[in-house]
Structure 1
Amino acid sequence: MLKLLFPILVMLGFAQLTPVSDFFTWDRNLILQGEVWRLITGNFTHTNLAHLIMNAAALMVFCFIFKDILNPKKLWGLLLSISLMTGGLLLLSPIQSYVGLSGVLHGLFIWAAIEDIKQQRSTGWLLLVGVVAKIAWEQYFGASASTISLINANVAIEAHLIGACCGAILQLLYYFYTLSTASDAPK
């Protein structure tokens, strides 16, 4: 698992350095001016050390729980694709500036819950219901005051919703891909 996580954790730490984080932040105006890398990189920098630690811990929990279905290539592919999709879809929201991995984490957990369901594990349904309930709670009641205080910023609950949808979209795309390749197979 360390082999899986170490490069990502190093990158998250590197992204916290002030000149790097300024270059990485998801910023609507700068993206629209052509700095499209920010669609991905905004997910890898954070408001403060507590925010970084909270998201890094969630990523470690994710990798530990789903170590049997992850490898470095799959994890990087998921991180980058959910980051790009989330970063792009955030342009449809009112958010002007965004940092943090939490939207991507919600996408990873939804993707993994569906993966568990496909493998007929009952834990997949529990995880899916739990993440959906959390997102619904946030959309209706807003983020918790303690989290806002901890990260010293508003919680981008839109990113949580968008990230979760992106995890589900990746599963849907894979489903349709497997259907099309199965129908193309010689009979």
Structure 2
Amino acid sequence: MQILQLIKTDTPNVLSRPLKGFFLSIFILMIFFAPYSESWTNLWLTTCDWQQDVWRYVTAHFTHWNINHLIMNMSGLIIYSWLFMDDMKSRRSFYEQVFSLIFILAVIDSYLITCYKLNTYAGFSGILYGLFAFGSIRYWRSNRLICNLVILVLMLQLQPWFETTHFVADQGIIIAKNVHLIGVLSGIPAALLCLYLDKRARLKPDTKIPSFSKP
């Protein structure tokens, strides 16, 4: 009985409408930039240099090398939203998710411009790693078991006894593990900032509405 009481929540375990729209828009972007052909994919990926169009540093994250790559990242985003669905019920969760994605994207792009060694980059996995790192830190107090498991998986995925830069998977996908690491490292300060702002909002005294009723 005690276990059931701990699991039971007052509100249904569903995402709010803004968050549904947020995650749905990401899926729509992935579908739009899906690898329908090699020429289509080449239009949107980044070549990681200062002379290319700036917008490619956004479209590249929603572009994928092949269908397997696309399905893998879509599945990862579904798992992310499902794992932390019960923790994203506050009104500020929508703004935190938007902020974390933009912050992680900006940090990864800074790395792609300055330090990335390969000629091209495409894929959502770097941002996805950052989101998992963000969620595991941001919601650790309320969901310690899941967050600890996510942290463990991230550590295993980024283990140093494999190549620390990249390797080519069996499907021909270039897995940029260094970008994954940057994504994880960028998700941590984003989560800490959200925790700080949330704590500050909780400590702020509520403004009382004056009562005009007779004593």
- The reply to whether TM is greater than 0.5 is yes
Deviation at 1:72, TM superposition (A): 5.1
Q: Which residue of 1 aligns with 2:11?
A: none
2:197, 2:24 → 1: CA distance? Answer: 31
Q: For 2:101 and 2:143, how far apart are their aligned partners in 1?
A: 24
In structure 2, how many angstroms separate the alpha carbons of the residues matched to 1:75 and 1:177?
14
1:140 Cα shift? 2.6
TM-score for the superposition, normalised by structure 1: 0.78
Q: Residue type of the partner of 1:119?
A: S
* Aligned equivalent of 1:173: 193
Separation (CA, whole Å) in 2 of partners of 1:72 and 1:123 = 20
Give the Å deviation of 1:108: 0.7
Return the alpha-carbon distance in structure 2 between the equivalents of residues 159 and 106 of structure 1.
Answer: 9
Q: Does 40-49 or 125-134 show the bigger shift?
A: 125-134
Higher helix proportion, which one? 1
Structure 2 distance, partners of 1:20, 1:121, is 42
Which stretch shifts more, 88-97 or 44-53?
A: 88-97
| Deviation for aligned residue 1:60 | 0.8
Q: Is the 8 A contact 1:27 1:96 kept in 2?
A: yes
For residue 124 of structure 1, report the CA deviation from its aligned partner: 1.4
Structure 1 residues 178 and 58, CA, compared in 2 at 3 Å: closer, same or farther? closer
In the other structure, the counterpart of 1:89 is 111
- Aligned AA (1:153): I
Kindly state the Cα deviation for residue 176 of structure 1 after the two structures are TM-superposed.
5.3
User: Residue 105 of structure 1 aligns to which amino acid in structure 2?
Assistant: L
Matched, 1:114 2:140: no
Equivalent residue pairs, number: 177
**Relative contact order higher in (CA < 8 Å, ≥ 6 apart):** 1
1:82–1:42 distance in 2 versus 1, CA, 3 Å: same
The 1:48–1:104 alpha-carbon spacing in structure 2 relative to 1, beyond 3 Å, is same
Instruction: Indicate whether 1:103 and 2:126 are aligned.
Output: yes
Q: CA 1:175/1:60 → structure 2, altered by over 3 Å: closer, same or farther? A: closer
- TM-score, normalized by length of structure 2? 0.69
- Shift of the alpha carbon at 1:171? 1.7
Amino acid at match of 1:160: H
SS in 2 for 1:36: coil
Once residues 179 and 53 of structure 2 are traced to their aligned partners in structure 1, the CA distance between those partners, rounded to angstroms, is 19
* Alignment partner, residue 52 of structure 1: 70
RMSD over aligned Cα atoms: 2.9
Distance 1:127 1:159 in 2: 18
Residues 173 and 37 of structure 1: CA distance in aligned 2, closer, same or farther (over 3 Å): farther
Mapped to 2, the partners of 1:178 and 1:5 lie a distance apart of 22
Partner SS state of residue 155, structure 1: strand
Q: 1:120-131 residue pairs with structure 2 within 5 A?
A: 121-131=144-154
Distance 1:119 1:45 in 2: 34
Query: Of the two, which has the highest radius of gyration?
Result: 2
Partner SS state of residue 85, structure 2: coil
